[in-house]
């Protein structure tokens, strides 16, 4: 039986998810984007949301609440809503998982799909991996099935809050790997830095409501490696730009997530030296070379 898939957001990751799903001939895919010329012959939400078996939110995190508001009147209760958005709301300090839970109807099945899924590689059929985080194992089985003929390996986690937090943390810490690149750090120091990142995330996750062990899944260490070592990642590029003291936009999910994450942790951020250093460099404009040299000495 053909499954109807609606993808909200026709940017790079939305198109990559669509291409990956198109490998399954039992799916019919509809795109919708707020920028209408992105989708040829775009149909209204009232037509493509009520028929969806799966609805993907492939949007910047800040656009998620508005998107949910727009689709909610048309959602059928059987639809599984899947978000690949990663972020933390700057006002409420809530992760995407919490926003979905509070904004969608109480009976609506939803999942996060996080992991090493660089859009450019999915578009070139290079494959990837993702964790489908949901409280309903039956929803995971359905999600896994629609990706079964693709190069995306999907595994399960019930730690929805933890996976949501990891999406934020990996973006923030990926900036530090970009800084290391910009400073000319070689493999030994990058190895030290990566170990430090994982050690801090392992301690941070329980404070943010997740399980420490979730760090070791593709949504944690897998996504961190893919993003942090990818030269075209916005977070990595921002770090490199700051280290080289180049002018340019700071726009990246990691940049936008840092202030609300720091506010959420409050004084506890001092217990995480690397995270504190990233905050000082990115938000307080501290010199990256001086700040990161302290990490090596301590």
To the question of whether residue 119 is assigned a binding role by annotation, the answer is: yes
Per the annotation, does 13 bind a ligand? yes
Residue 10 assigned to a binding site: yes
pLDDT of 166 higher than 70: yes
Over residues 38-59, the pLDDT tens digits come to: 999 999 999 999 999 999 999 9
Average pLDDT over residues 60-75: 94
- How far is Cα 38 from Cα 33, in angstroms, rounded to an integer? 7
Alpha-carbon torsion, ordered 125, 131, 132, 138, to 10 deg:
100
User: For residue 253, is pLDDT > 70?
Assistant: yes
Q: State pLDDT tens for residues 133-150.
A: 999 999 999 999 999 989
Topology given in CATH for the domain delimited by 165-297? 1.10.1040
pLDDT at 24: 83
CATH tag, 3-158: 3.40.50.720
Residues involved in catalysis: 170
CA distance 220 to 113: 12
Four-point Cα dihedral 136, 139, 145, 150, nearest 10: -90
Reported confidence tier of residue 291, pLDDT bands at 50, 70, 90: very high
pLDDT (tens digit per residue) in 91-141: 899 999 999 999 999 999 999 999 999 999 999 999 999 999 999 999 999
Domain limits, CATH 1.10.1040.10, in the chain:
165-297
pLDDT at 292: 96
């Amino acid at each position: 039986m053909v499954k109807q898939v609606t993808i909200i957001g026709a940017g790079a990751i939305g198109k990559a998810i669509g291409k990956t799903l198109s490998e399954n001939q039992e799916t019919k895919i509809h795109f919708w984007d707020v920028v209408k010329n992105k989708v040829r012959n775009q149909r209204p939400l009232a037509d493509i949301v009520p028929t969806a078996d799966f609805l993907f939110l492939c949007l910047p995190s800040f656009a998620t609440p508005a998107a949910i508001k727009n689709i909610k009147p048309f959602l059928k209760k059987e639809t599984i809503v899947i978000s690949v958005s990663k972020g933390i709301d700057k006002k409420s300090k809530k992760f995407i998982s919490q926003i979905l839970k509070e904004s969608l109807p109480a009976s609506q099945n939803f999942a996060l799909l996080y992991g090493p899924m660089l859009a450019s590689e999915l578009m070139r059929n290079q494959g990837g991996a993702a964790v489908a985080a949901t409280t309903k194992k039956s929803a995971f089985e359905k999600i896994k099935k629609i990706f079964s003929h693709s190069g995306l390996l999907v595994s399960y986690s019930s730690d929805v809050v933890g996976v949501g937090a990891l999406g934020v943390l990996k973006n923030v810490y990926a900036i530090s790997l970009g800084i290391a690149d910009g400073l000319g750090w070689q493999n030994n120091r990058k190895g030290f830095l990566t170990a430090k990142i994982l050690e801090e995330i392992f301690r941070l996750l329980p404070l943010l409501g997740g399980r420490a062990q979730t760090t070791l899944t593709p949504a944690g260490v897998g996504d961190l490696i893919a993003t942090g070592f990818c030269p075209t990642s916005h977070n990595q590029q921002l770090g490199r730009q700051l280290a080289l003291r180049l002018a340019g936009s700071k726009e990246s999910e990691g940049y936008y997530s840092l202030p609300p994450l720091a506010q959420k942790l409050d004084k506890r951020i001092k217990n995480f030296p690397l995270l504190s250093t990233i905050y000082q460099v990115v938000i307080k404009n501290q010199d990256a070379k001086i700040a990161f040299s302290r990490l090596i000495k301590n």
